[in-house]
Amino acid sequence: MNRPLTAHRHRSGVLLTGAICLTLAAGWAVHHGIEAAGYGGDNGSRLAAVWGVTFLLLATQTAMYHLERPRRTTPRARRQLDALHVAVLLPVYNEDPGYLKLGLESMLAQTRRPTSVHVVDDGSTSSDYSSVRAWWTQAARVAGIATTWQRTPNRGKRHAQAAAVHASPDADVYVTVDSDSCLAPNALEEILLPLAKARVQSVAGIVLATNHRANLLTRITDLWFVTGQLTDRSALSATGAVLVNSGPLAAYRAGIIRDNLDSYLNERFLGRPVMFSDDSLLTLYALLRGRTVQQPTAVVFTALPERASHFARMYMRWMRGSTIRSVWRFRYLPLTGWAYWAHLLRWFQVALSTAVLGWLLVVEPALYGRTPPASFLVVPFLIGWAQALRYLSVARSDEHLGGRLVTWLLMPLAVVGSWTVLRFMRWYGMATCARTGWGTRQNGAEVSLTTVAAVQPEAAEVPVAKLLDPDTETTLTLPIPRQRTTAPLHEGRHA
């Protein structure tokens, strides 16, 4: 049994100061660019006004995401949370057996183990998982975790989740995970804490990459994805209006899923069944009942695409789903809630940034023969580095600060990709949102656990107990969960 992956957040005054300095430097570069380019008259006034609005929005978002705090609770509320039936829904389709077993092992190492785990093999064609199933069934029984393992005809992730829901009618909370999710040892304990507040209906976890060091693509994707969670989603979480939970780890009050199961399974857009964007739909259901938040101390590790073609399929699925979900949000979210206006503001920012980019790179050169000064090019990189300082605040057990710094320095590549390739892919995804099929893993797993990413050679092995399974009279080696504390995965404060 390898030592499990862990991560924790540092709330550092140095990082906050650095973010402020970089943002101010970006503001100076904008001012210098306007002056240096000689934008006079109406053009200069309009451009200055646009940049002023942009930086006001940036400053507002920055203040909001720094207001996010991990939810804590009282001993009495914790006892109430401990009494809940927490059911984990784990759909599997053509997953690599190594990643699947790694995720199941992480369930056994939880400081707050799930009450039940329900695995549904959605008609996989690459493996029958017989050895993983036999091992897990025994291990779960010995660990006191109720479990089911079904194999169903291939109908998609939502139907697999529904089968797991039907197998757990007594659950109070459903935790959704992916088949490659590897939970940090206290992930379940932490993600339940916000549910101590009755108004909170769903909780998002923080997703890190298991294979972030595989190649340049995974490093940049991890940087981009983690930074987005700790800026955009953290800002929304501070107001209780998270718009999208991540599939690798999210918690919902059971009624959210049970009461909307028919709608969830039969969503249609332009007359076609929707096979993706399931997490954002569940989050929308939760938003219609109350608050949706992120718990920045509930961490899960997942496998990112290691090939450009795999990433492109994933991103196109996200963009098509985002377009469909935007239609539903504008239609169903109440105007009295912050979520509606946050969603509208997001689209305004997309339109504004696109208009500014088009004006500077197309209109100005074509009509006035002016090209933006080089100082303008510095602005996105400074802002990107400032926001990505949040990435540096995440300390992983399998990587030193130097490795995170190397990844942080790659932010210009992420910015260029976001402003070029990903922007065009977003437009294409919007234009082709009627293509609602899933489109991945048709020929087996696209990422394999060839080396166990959770191994830390320099660390001691996790404590284990050798227990006798009374049914089979075989000895199983199970991890011993670490001692629970009031804040097992904390945000340390450093000067």
Sequential DSSP letters for 441-495: STTS-SS--SS-TT--TTSPPPPEEEEEETTTTEEEEEEPPPPP-SSSS-EEEE-
Residue 307 lies in a domain: yes
Domain total in the chain: 1
Taking residues 357-383, report their average pLDDT.
Answer: 77
- Looking at the chain, how many residues does it have? 495
For strands 116-121 and 146-151, give the pairing. parallel
Are the C-beta atoms of 198 and 287 separated by less than 8 Å? no
Residue 492 lies in a domain: no
Higher pLDDT, 130 or 371: 130
Is it the case that residue 456 has pLDDT exceeding 60?
no
CA 252 and chain centroid, separation: 15
pLDDT score, position 454: 41
The residue type at 349: Q
At residue 363 the predicted structure's pLDDT band, cuts being 50, 70 and 90, is confident
The pTM assigned to this predicted structure is: 0.87
Higher pLDDT, 390 or 292: 292
At residue 147 the predicted structure's pLDDT band, cuts being 50, 70 and 90, is very high
Transcribe 203-236 into DSSP letters: EEEEEEETTTTSSHHHHHHHHHHHHHIIIIIHHH
pLDDT score, position 319: 94
Taking residues 124-134, report their average pLDDT.
Answer: 92
Residue 429 lies in a domain: yes
Taking residues 30-44, report their average pLDDT.
Answer: 58
**Among residues 86, 22, 15, which one has the least CA distance to residue 59?**
22
| Alpha carbon distances (Å) from 48 to 20, 33, 36, 346, 372 | 21, 10, 13, 21, 13
Kindly report the CATH number assigned to the domain that includes residue 351: 3.90.550.10
At 88-104, the pLDDT tens digits run 999 999 999 999 999 99
Residue 493 lies in a domain: no
For strands 291-302 and 200-209, give the pairing. parallel
At 323-346, the pLDDT tens digits run 999 999 999 999 999 999 999 998
Residue 495 lies in a domain: no
What's the DSSP call for residue 135?
H
Domain, as residue range, for 404: 1-485
CA 240-245-250 angle, to 5 degrees, is: 100
Q: How far apart are CA 174 and CA 168, in angstroms?
A: 9
Lowest mean pLDDT among 135-149, 419-433, 475-489: 475-489
Angle between helices 216-228 and 401-408 (to 10 degrees): 90
pLDDT score, position 482: 61
Is it the case that residue 352 has pLDDT exceeding 90?
no
Residue 425 lies in a domain: yes
Residue 490 lies in a domain: no
SS3 for 71?
Answer: coil
pLDDT score, position 469: 52
Residue 494 lies in a domain: no
pLDDT score, position 439: 60
Is it the case that residue 347 has pLDDT exceeding 50?
yes
Q: What is the mean pLDDT of the chain?
A: 85
Beta strands in 355-470 (DSSP E): 394-396, 464-469
Is it the case that residue 150 has pLDDT exceeding 60?
yes
Lowest mean pLDDT among 35-39, 127-131, 264-268, 360-364: 35-39
pLDDT score, position 6: 82
Q: Alpha-carbon torsion 295, 301, 305, 306, what sign?
A: positive
Place of tokens 């991560």: 7
Q: What is the percentage of the chain residues whose pLDDT exceeds 90?
A: 60
Higher pLDDT, 60 or 10: 60
At 227-285, the pLDDT tens digits run 999 999 999 999 999 999 999 999 999 999 999 999 999 999 999 999 899 999 999 99
Q: How far apart are CA 193 and CA 476, in angstroms?
A: 31
Place of tokens 């332009």: 270
Is it the case that residue 142 has pLDDT exceeding 80?
yes
Is it the case that residue 315 has pLDDT exceeding 90?
yes
Higher pLDDT, 170 or 401: 170
**Among residues 269, 268, 331, 279, which one has the least CA distance to residue 302?**
279
